[in-house]
């Protein structure tokens, strides 16, 4: 079926000399199973290897795709966050400064989030767990503890501000 589109020379760019689209679908569809490709499937892109795979579907080769382990990074961030949270406690109680608590929140949330994501990836097999699961778990919990300390410092700051101005 010729298209209604014509170029500047009045020719149909989607039709050959006979008026058919060489890039379009063929009007003749297979009528029985023997005319289908690759062992009776209706997948036009199937090959003979796909037919041999049979009921098992896709079989991966001799390679794995895994994420690199980040246990050391998560542990380092968790330790840094915990160390800074003790400084935030001192600054909040001694000087009433909330800046340190906000900084500790910014540093303590990434090990918590990254640790959860990495432990989930290890559980699903997308990241190697050998030797890294304990580092990741410890970094996650250090991040959780540092976050709790920072939230406590921020709550103390709010109490000091409200106590000074309201009461």
Q: How far is CA 142 from CA 57, 83, 101, 136, in A?
A: 44, 10, 16, 10
- Gap between the Cα atoms of 63 and 120, Å rounded: 21
Interacting residues of 159 by C-beta distance below 8 A, sequence separation 6+:
none
pLDDT of 114-159, one tens digit each?
Answer: 999 999 998 888 888 888 899 999 999 999 999 999 999 888 888 8
Give the confidence band of 38 by pLDDT, cuts at 50, 70, 90.
very low
Q: What is the pLDDT of residues 52-93, one digit of tens each?
A: 555 555 555 555 667 888 999 999 999 999 999 998 888 887
Strand partners, 113: none
pLDDT at 43 over 80: no
Is pTM beyond 0.75? Reply is no
CB 107 within 8 A of CB 80: yes
Residue, of 41 and 97, whose pLDDT is higher: 97
């Amino acid at each position: 079926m010729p298209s209604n589109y014509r170029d500047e020379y009045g020719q149909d760019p989607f039709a050959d000399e006979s008026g058919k689209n060489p890039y379009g679908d063929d009007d003749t569809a297979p009528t029985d199973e023997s005319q289908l490709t690759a062992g009776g499937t209706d997948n036009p892109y199937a090959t003979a290897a796909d037919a041999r795979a049979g009921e098992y579907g896709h079989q991966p080769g001799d390679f794995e795709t895994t994420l690199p382990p980040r246990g050391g990074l998560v542990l380092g961030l968790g330790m840094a966050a915990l160390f800074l949270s003790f400084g935030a406690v001192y600054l909040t109680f001694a000087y009433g400064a909330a800046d340190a608590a906000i900084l500790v929140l910014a540093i303590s949330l990434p090990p918590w989030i990254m640790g959860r994501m990495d432990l989930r990836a290890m559980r699903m097999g997308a990241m190697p767990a050998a030797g890294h699961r304990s580092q990741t778990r410890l970094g996650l919990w250090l991040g959780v503890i540092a976050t709790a300390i920072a939230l406590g410092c921020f709550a103390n700051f709010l109490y000091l501000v409200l106590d000074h101005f309201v009461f």
